[in-house]
Amino acid sequence: MAILEAKDLTKRFGQTPALEKASFALEPGRIVGLLGPNGSGKTTLIKLANELLVPTEGEILVDGMKPGVETKKIVSYLPDCMYFDDHMKVGDCLELFTDFYEDFDAGKAQEMLAQLGIKKELLFKTLSKGTKEKAQLCFVMSRHAKLYLLDEPIGGVDPAARDYILATILKNYNEDATVVISTHLIADIEKILDEVVFLSWGRVVRHQSTDELREQTGKSVDEVFREVYKC
C-alpha cells in the first residue's frame, strides 16, 4: 500500500488553483524530492497531507487513510517556518514532544542536540535562524514515524548547515519509512533522493526514480529541473 497517495487532488483559493488534478503514489522506504519553483504547490500539498488544508476536489491518502487524528500519529512534519515560541526553552520542546508523540525518542533528540552544542536551557529567541532550524529538525527526525514531510528543510541555512541537515535526515529516519523533501534547491539534495515528483503550476509534470531519470536523459536531476522550469 502507498504511504502517500494523491488522486486528482485539487486545491483552489478562490478562483486560483494551487493544485490541479495532481496524482501520484509514493511507496514506503523511499526518499522523495517534491520539486518545483516557488508557487508550484509544494507547501499546499504538504499542508493537505497534514489536514491543515482540505481538498477542493479529489483526495489525498496517508497509509490508505484520509488525513486526521490517526494519520498524525504516523506523520512527522517539518513546516517551512518556525512553530516554537521564542520564549520557550529547548528543554521545554523536548518535554512537549515527549508528552505529545508516543513515537518520540527523547534520547535520540538529546544526543543530536548535544552534537550541535544546543543546550536544553537555551531560549529559542537566543538562537540563530540556522540553529533554530537544526533544533527543529532534531525533534522532527527523532520520531519513529512512517512518513516524514519536510517542507524546505534547507532553504534558510548556509551550505555547511545544509550538509549537516541532509546527513541528519539520512542517519535518523526509519528505513522502512518514506521521507518527502520539498525544495527548489535541487543540486544540494539530489544525491540522497530515490525518486522525484516535479510540480509545475499545481500539476505533476514528472514522477520517476532518479536512476531512471538520469538514464533516460543523460543528465542530472538539477539539469532536468532547470530545463523543465526554464523562464
The 10s digit of each residue's pLDDT in 123-167 is: 999 998 888 888 998 999 999 999 999 998 877 677 777 787 788
Contact 46, 23 (CB under 8 A): no
Average pLDDT over residues 209-216: 95
What span, in angstroms and rounded, lies between the C-alpha atoms of 158 and 88?
25
Nearest to 47 by CA among 20, 74, 24, 19: 19
Nearest to 216 by CA among 229, 227, 203, 201: 227
Q: What angle do CA 124, 126, 131 make, to 5 degrees?
A: 65
CA distances from 44 to 41, 99, 110 (A): 5, 28, 31
| pLDDT in the model for residue 231 | 59
pLDDT over 80 (residue 56): yes
The 10s digit of each residue's pLDDT in 192-207 is: 999 999 999 999 999 9
pLDDT over 80 (residue 190): yes
pLDDT over 70 (residue 12): yes
pLDDT over 90 (residue 7): yes
